[in-house]
Amino acid sequence: MKIDLLSKNALVGAGTQGIGAGIAIELAKCGANVTVISRNESKLKDFISLLPVISDHQKHQYLVADFLKFNDYKAIIHDFFRTNSVDILVNNTNGPDAGMALEKNVEDFQVAFDLLFKTVVETTSLALPHMIKQKNGRIINVSSLSVKEPISNLVLSNSIRSAVAAWAKSLSSEVAQHNITINNILTGYFDTERIQQLMEGESQRSTISVEELRKARESKIPMKRLGKPEEYGHLVAFLASEYAAYLTGTSIPLDGGLANVY
């Protein structure tokens, strides 16, 4: 099975590192024109220069925007869609701050809501008119296993990602008649900068070493290892392809079997 995304335009959020980078690279390998969103222009320039190019007509670009500053993000993404359209939208942002429920206040939840929910809805609403017009489109939301079972010390992510999943399921039913699919990927433990930061924070609070915490995470996973960003990209490329044309409204765990042990 060869995935061919030549002539397709993809927009990938938080794409210069970790899971986002793995996704952008795999979509580019399949021939898509990839636009990567991030707040660091220097990293964006370096990353875009390294993206695979397999066709003379393939072109990659970047968009500088900070998901944490919603009003600024809204203006930037509206400006992008005035002159661009996308066939594949990967909604992915940096994660919200860690913390327990009693540690967070209403303002914390509002920040997380802007970051995880409002940016996704805003970007999707701008991508949909072109997809509806052409009767084809792929929307993939990078989510978390916390949709199935809340994860300790990640109350903001637990709460808002569940809202995104419910919204996505509702929207998928409305746009399916236009051959537009919407799916969520429920992310397990991947070997990324984000999980390293979470483990470092946990280590400081508990005095358990980062290496011990990593081994503990790996021991819970039936495959006994963390996922690789490129493995994430493989699933996204499949969901973006015509092979997944009849798959919509789902939340797919990508976790080495971890969800099965909850």
The answer to whether residues 218 and 227 touch, using CB atoms and an 8 Å cutoff, is: no
Q: Is the pLDDT reported for residue 102 higher than 90? A: yes
Q: Report yes or no: 17 and 46 within 8 Å, Cβ to Cβ.
A: no
Q: What confidence category does residue 262 fall into, taking pLDDT thresholds of 50, 70 and 90?
A: very low
pLDDT at 260: 67
**Mean pLDDT along residues 10-27:** 97
Residues 6+ apart with CB under 8 A from 161: 116, 143, 144, 146, 147
> What is the average pLDDT across 239-260?
95
pLDDT value, residue 197: 84
In the predicted structure, residue 14 carries a pLDDT above the cut 80: yes
pLDDT band at 9 (very low <50, low <70, confident <90, very high): very high
At 251, phi and psi to the nearest 5?
-125, 110
What is residue 69's three-state secondary structure?
Answer: coil
Average pLDDT over residues 212-220: 92
* pLDDT band for position 199 (cuts 50, 70, 90): confident
Asked whether the predicted pLDDT for residue 89 surpasses 50, the reply is yes
> What pLDDT is attached to residue 125?
98
pLDDT mean over 42-67: 97
C-alpha distances out from residue 14 to 40, 78, 193, Å: 10, 17, 12
pLDDT tier for residue 201 given thresholds of 50, 70 and 90: confident
Helices and strands per DSSP (H, E), number in the chain: 9, 7
Supply the pTM of this predicted model.
0.94
Q: Which segment of 87-91, 170-174, 213-217, 238-242 scores lowest on mean pLDDT?
A: 213-217
CATH fold for domain 9-189+228-256:
Rossmann fold (3.40.50)
Secondary structure element (H or E) that encloses residue 180, with its range: strand 180-187
Give the lowest-confidence range in 136-140, 173-177, 214-218.
214-218
Rounded to whole angstroms, how far apart are CA atoms 54 and 76?
A: 29
> How many whole angstroms from its chain centre is CA 189?
14
Whether 226 shows a pLDDT value over 50: the answer reads yes
Cα 41-8-180 angle, rounded to 5 deg: 110
pLDDT of 261 above 70 = no
- Residue range 106-165, pLDDT digits in tens: 999 999 999 999 999 999 999 999 999 999 999 999 999 999 999 888 999 999 999 999
